[in-house]
Structure 1
Amino acid sequence: MTLAMSWDEWAAQDATALAEKVRQGELTAAELAQQAAAGIAKTNPTLSAVVEVFEDVVADPLKDGLNPQGPFAGVPFLMKDLGPTLKGRLQEQGSLFMRGNRPTEDAWLTKQMRKAGLNLMGRTTTPEFGVCSSAENPAVYVTRNPWNTDFTTCGSSAGTSAMVAAGVVPMSHATDGGGSIRIPAGFNGNIGLKPSRGVFSIGPNLSDITGYVSIQGCHSRTVRDTAAFVDACRGGAPGEFMPFWTTPEPYTQLIQKDPGRLRIALSHEWGDYRATPELVAELEKAARFLEGLGHHVEWALPQADLREAFRAQTTCYISNFAQVINGLLAKAGLERPPAELIEPINIRIWEAGKDLSYAERYKMQAVFNSTARAFGAFFEDWDIILTPITALPTPRIGTTEYLTTSDNPDVLDWFDNLWKFFSYTPLSNLCGIPAISLPMAQQANGLPFGIHAQARQANDGLLLQLAAQIERALGGRWNDGRRPGVHVTAG
């Protein structure tokens, strides 16, 4: 098969540029899909990032209801195998227990994506139920980092991060319950925005009042693509519990203007957690770069009880996830999770949370409130807080302590260990505030490293404005213009 573009041409285009080529009649949506499918075939044997390609929508992008007049005009897009459902398509959530699960309806956000003109043409890998930090169970799949395949992509948006970094698709779906958009973006050299609560719907099966911490989004390689994705897909489904944020002007317009002089706080001392000196040095380098753009930067931290906040976040995960498992067990007519089909830590989370009292949830909600109020007060004085994306460098494949295949008998100890590593991302989920990982930094071993910015609730546009200003200042050269070793242009 002859492809419509060379791989160098393909990798140079973002989603916005590809959509424009379709609108101008230079390319068709089917040609874009065929090129993306060829990119998957080229890189996936090494990366194990894609579970399935939907061959029927590669052949006919309009088959599932894609709107060709949408802003993305048929751009290929991969769905993380978790979150929004696709009618009639498998969604197996990284779990042996979910093999063969085929939802019967499109989620609201799925409809929004199709209306936006995205061609949902396959599924990307995720750890079981998106709970842990890497899609790394040999019985299911082991997803590898395209920059160095000895290392993990991290997660839980594992396959998405690898496919965008490897140049296969310009943009792909991701979800974030505590850093699952931002951390893999940071370790794979992508842009990863976790929007505010009340931007993307998780309806009709869940709402922001039931989910609390989980939000939808994407990975991209340009700020304008992420801005266009938010503009096109935001909004509440009928019957939302909470109002959804609106914006006075589209983000695609807003990002064309630099923000004013921003008050940017800097921190890596996050409750009990500290980043390694190497990563602190990368944060300080980013701070000097932002000062060079005219912003005011100094060390500061919200006056919140972060230790209590992490405890509440742990309670939220345990209680939410235990009820998800309970629902799956009830549907299957089972009393407890089968050990041969569900990973050990996920069973222990279920055991810890299945009988959790409302009194415990009430205490958790009180800490959610006090933490969100403390961050809110902080953002009365500061526009943005900047941290590293994680406190520790990217783990090698086979580092089991962060995985749900871990044999740790103490689930609270397992979570505590997680927070020592993923220290800076979870509390923005708790508070419902926007946060973004930008590929501005580098680890000593050459892997990318994200710089993490958070802002007040509904100030997603300011984060994107700052990101676009940085992108312009870098001449569009995120990751110093480097590409990973596993890439569509390689070989």
Structure 2
Amino acid sequence: MVKNTSRHGQRWLTLALVLILSLGTLLPVTASAADSTVTANAPTAVAQPAGISEHAYETQSALQLAQAVRSGQTTSTQLVKQAIAKVKADNPRLNSVITLREDAALKEAADLQDTGQKFLGVPILIKGLGHTIAGMPNTNGLLASRDNVTKSTSRIVKNLQAQGFIVIGQTNFPEMGLLNITNSKLYGPASNPWNLADNPGGSSGGSTASVADGMTPVASGSDAGGSVRIPASWSGVIGLKPTQGAISSDSSADTATTVNFVETKTMADTAALFAGLKNATFKLNAVPAQLKDTPIAYSTKSPVGTPVSQDAVDAVHQAVNFLKAQGFTVKEVNAPTDGVALMKAYYLLDTSAGSVANYISAPKLGHAITTNDVSTLDWALYQASKRVTADQTAAARDTIAQAKDQMARFHEQYPLYLTPTTATTAPANSDPSVLPAYEAKLAKIDQLATSEDQLQLIYDAWLHGLSKSPFTQQANLTGEPAISLPTYVSPRNGMPLGIQFNAAKGGDDLLLKMGDLFESHHLFKLLQDRQAPTTATTPTTPATPEAPKTPATKPATSTPKPAKPRQTKPTVRPVTKATPRKVLVTKKVIVYRHLTGTKVAKTYAKHQRSTAHVFNVLGTVRAHGHLWYRVSGGYIKAAAVTPLYYQHPTSKVKTLQGIYAYSGKTLKHAQRQRYIKPGRVLKIKRLVKTGHVTRYQLRNGDYITANKQFIVWK
């Protein structure tokens, strides 16, 4: 290892020691190795509750599910089985969950005793980074740590379990949690349930995608620069970053920036969890008797001078108009801080993450990390960390201290500061966090002459990602609370974008009240609301093909059923330009004769893409919380198939999202030539078909995808 005796080196060494105490192992999304000898309690002769419907499980809050358990309407075991079935059904397309602890969760659910826990028996997913649980992985997203198993459970997880939650598994995250998207060499990219071509955000993106999808009503997350709020914005859920030190598991040190909390869908869950996880000695600021007496400043200007999309501007203006209608005084004022200086200080301190990655990996690898072992960015941070001096670290701390003072004075005049949470809607999974040109420069960062040159390159390389989410980092550096609320969906691409309220330290209750205000006026835009049933009742739907056929997957609803539910005919909408005309069967699919799911017309087995069965899509239906495709012979769930976008020859196409050009038609990672930005017009040489796959070859010989999610004819 490289010797480093600076205070900066001591900082990352201490952090490394904390991290490696509980290293874990990579497992597929199945029961963990530690679970292999654990079995759920055998069923007794006592009659089991009817349970709740699939739709009810996926849409109810954690508090509502806990009440259903406490009232005897369902059991924790039944909820856990429904959660696991949902994960197994949807995770192949989302990759939001990296491990399941099925046997252990079922045993814990069966053994659970009611001692008044707020969230009695409710399933929860925990972030795979930092939120450790004994017997499960804690890899930090590093390839070298894939075979480690932790023996300890972190404090935040213990506290969640004390609230009554049953941990069913871990969620995806980027390597070392350093990105605002979820992707890594170890786990691969997660997909956004609003649009599978997009990323849910990061670093708690696996958690937000899982909550938005309905796998669990809440999932844990951590926030050191927006990692709870950024994915909340892009996945359409609530993301609260409490005041530093407000949560009992968090550090209250002046230099601390990381907060552990949860991703949620309701303000009731958010408030109850804040109360349950709060440090008992933490003092909260009083909330005005009349909420509308709180002056609010707002801004849509990026603190680092980067562009802000019209969607982000519209989201804030929509909120401003609502607040003014409620009687608030709202004024456009920019924060008094130097955003660029703050981010440079932030990145300088973040070089320690590269040192930690090396500290963890080097003993296992037998050598210092290379770009084969970690991301190029992580490697560059490691190289830069070697030259960071104590004076540079002190200067960065001074910059942050100045921002703390500036924001404290700012909040004396404006207790609330409103901005977009993110500057854009979710990026495509094909959009790299670091552009290829900067990847190449970062790979040679060790050749730069000075530390200043290295740090400037890191800032420049990170700017592509930062420009999408420049509003969140300040709250971590100042220690102030902030919350992302899911109030906006883009009319341009149908994707969510959150608004962020920031308050003074201790102003957490004020943020919760603002969330209540927007929610009570039905201004939250959740994915489950876009997928609501077409009728007022919720008929029981069949379990997904992968779900275990147990009593827990055959629930009854709490609402009365109509006398003749099958007489209600679904409204089949015609195929539009946004609807795939053909879909592929890439896993087991059931064709139902009716949307009631009681009669199976045919079952199709899982196949490779090249030999998969193809359905012609005749129309679409929203029913029972799902999108269905009308096909010959009945209905299939859209989530169970893959769109097949056949294209036709054309001379030009325009990119809808960022894509790569490849040297070969198989579009493998090793064939990447260059990144093509959204909105580019490309000249086409020919259309290439390979089985159920189509590509376009460009005039220069490169190949691009012909998927209609990414390009359109020009």
In structure 2, do the counterparts of structure 1 residues 353 and 59 end up closer, same or farther at CA, with 3 Å as the change threshold? Answer: same
Residue 530 of structure 2: aligned partner: 482
**Equivalent position to 2:351, from 318, 336, 339:** 318
Does residue 245 (structure 1) correspond to residue 282 (structure 2)? The answer is yes
In structure 2, do the counterparts of structure 1 residues 422 and 70 end up closer, same or farther at CA, with 3 Å as the change threshold? Answer: same
Residue 246 of structure 2: aligned partner: 199
Residue 619 of structure 2: aligned partner: none
Rg: which structure is higher?
A: 2
Residue 497 of structure 2: aligned partner: 449
Is the 8 Å Cα contact of residues 182 and 194 (structure 1) preserved in structure 2? yes
Residue 418 of structure 1: aligned partner: 465
Is the 8 Å Cα contact of residues 455 and 463 (structure 1) preserved in structure 2? yes
In structure 2, do the counterparts of structure 1 residues 149 and 406 end up closer, same or farther at CA, with 3 Å as the change threshold? Answer: farther
Is the 8 Å Cα contact of residues 95 and 127 (structure 1) preserved in structure 2? no
Is the 8 Å Cα contact of residues 62 and 68 (structure 1) preserved in structure 2? no
Q: Distance in 2 between matches of 1:46 and 1:81?
A: 19
Does residue 358 (structure 1) correspond to residue 390 (structure 2)? The answer is yes
Residue 72 of structure 1: aligned partner: 119
In structure 2, do the counterparts of structure 1 residues 431 and 275 end up closer, same or farther at CA, with 3 Å as the change threshold? Answer: same
Secondary structure of residue in 2 paired with 1:310: helix
Per-residue CA deviations over 1:58-91 (Å, capped at 9, x if unaligned) read 3212589887532110110101101232122212
Is the 8 Å Cα contact of residues 197 and 432 (structure 1) preserved in structure 2? yes
Deviation at 1:227, TM superposition (A): 0.9
Moved more, 115-124 or 303-312: 303-312
Number of residues of Structure 1 aligned to a counterpart in Structure 2: 475
Secondary structure of residue in 1 paired with 2:194: coil
Q: Distance in 2 between matches of 1:247 and 1:61?
A: 34
Per-residue CA deviations over 1:440-475 (Å, capped at 9, x if unaligned) read 012220001101110101111100111011101117
Residue 511 of structure 2: aligned partner: 463
Match for 1:162: what amino acid?
A
Is the 8 Å Cα contact of residues 236 and 526 (structure 2) preserved in structure 1? yes
Q: Equivalences for 1:41-52 in 2 at 5 Å?
A: 41-52=88-99
Moved more, 477-486 or 211-220: 477-486
Q: Distance in 1 between matches of 2:105 and 2:625?
A: 18
Per-residue CA deviations over 1:309-341 (Å, capped at 9, x if unaligned) read 12111112123x134224314654745114333
Residue 205 of structure 2: aligned partner: 158
Secondary structure of residue in 2 paired with 1:135: coil
Q: Distance in 2 between matches of 1:258 and 1:27?
A: 40
- Identity, in percent, stands at 27
Per-residue CA deviations over 1:330-383 (Å, capped at 9, x if unaligned) read 654745114333111111111111342111111111011000110110000002
**Equivalent position to 2:332, from 299, 306, 329:** 299
Q: Distance in 2 between matches of 1:441 and 1:458?
A: 27
**Equivalent position to 2:77, from 30, 34, 49:** 30
Deviation at 1:288, TM superposition (A): 0.4
In structure 2, do the counterparts of structure 1 residues 361 and 424 end up closer, same or farther at CA, with 3 Å as the change threshold? Answer: same
Match for 1:165: what amino acid?
A
Residue 227 of structure 1: aligned partner: 271
In structure 2, do the counterparts of structure 1 residues 300 and 248 end up closer, same or farther at CA, with 3 Å as the change threshold? Answer: closer
What is the alpha-carbon root mean square deviation over aligned residues? Answer: 2.9
Residue 159 of structure 2: aligned partner: 112
Match for 2:264: what amino acid?
S
Per-residue CA deviations over 1:17-70 (Å, capped at 9, x if unaligned) read 111111112221111111111111121111111111111233212589887532
Unaligned runs of 5+ in 2: 1-42, 443-456, 533-621, 628-636, 638-714
Q: Distance in 2 between matches of 1:64 and 1:98?
A: 32
Residue 368 of structure 2: aligned partner: 336
Is the 8 Å Cα contact of residues 193 and 219 (structure 1) preserved in structure 2? yes
- Tell me the TM-score normalised to structure 2 length: 0.62
Q: Distance in 1 between matches of 2:300 and 2:525?
A: 26
In structure 2, do the counterparts of structure 1 residues 137 and 387 end up closer, same or farther at CA, with 3 Å as the change threshold? Answer: same
Q: Distance in 1 between matches of 2:360 and 2:122?
A: 34
Is the 8 Å Cα contact of residues 212 and 527 (structure 2) preserved in structure 1? no
Q: Distance in 2 between matches of 1:106 and 1:334?
A: 28
Q: Which has the higher contact order (CA 8 A, sep 6+)?
A: 1
Q: Equivalences for 1:423-442 in 2 at 5 Å?
A: 423-442=470-489
Deviation at 1:226, TM superposition (A): 0.9
Secondary structure of residue in 2 paired with 1:52: strand
Match for 1:451: what amino acid?
I
- Tell me the TM-score normalised to structure 1 length: 0.89
**Equivalent position to 1:369, from 371, 376, 401:** 401
Per-residue CA deviations over 1:86-138 (Å, capped at 9, x if unaligned) read 12221223332221222222222222111111111100000111111222246
**Equivalent position to 2:258, from 214, 228, 233:** 214
Moved more, 116-125 or 209-218: 209-218
Q: Distance in 1 between matches of 2:268 and 2:147?
A: 37
Match for 1:463: what amino acid?
L
Residue 311 of structure 2: aligned partner: 278
In structure 2, do the counterparts of structure 1 residues 488 and 328 end up closer, same or farther at CA, with 3 Å as the change threshold? Answer: farther
Match for 1:289: what amino acid?
F
Q: Equivalences for 1:245-264 in 2 at 5 Å?
A: 245-247=282-284, 259-264=291-296
**Equivalent position to 2:215, from 164, 168, 179:** 168
In structure 2, do the counterparts of structure 1 residues 488 and 175 end up closer, same or farther at CA, with 3 Å as the change threshold? Answer: farther
**Equivalent position to 2:378, from 330, 339, 346:** 346
Match for 2:498: what amino acid?
G
Does residue 95 (structure 1) correspond to residue 153 (structure 2)? The answer is no
Deviation at 1:141, TM superposition (A): 2.1
Is the 8 Å Cα contact of residues 34 and 58 (structure 1) preserved in structure 2? no
Whose strand proportion is higher, 1 or 2?
Answer: 2
Secondary structure of residue in 1 paired with 2:296: strand
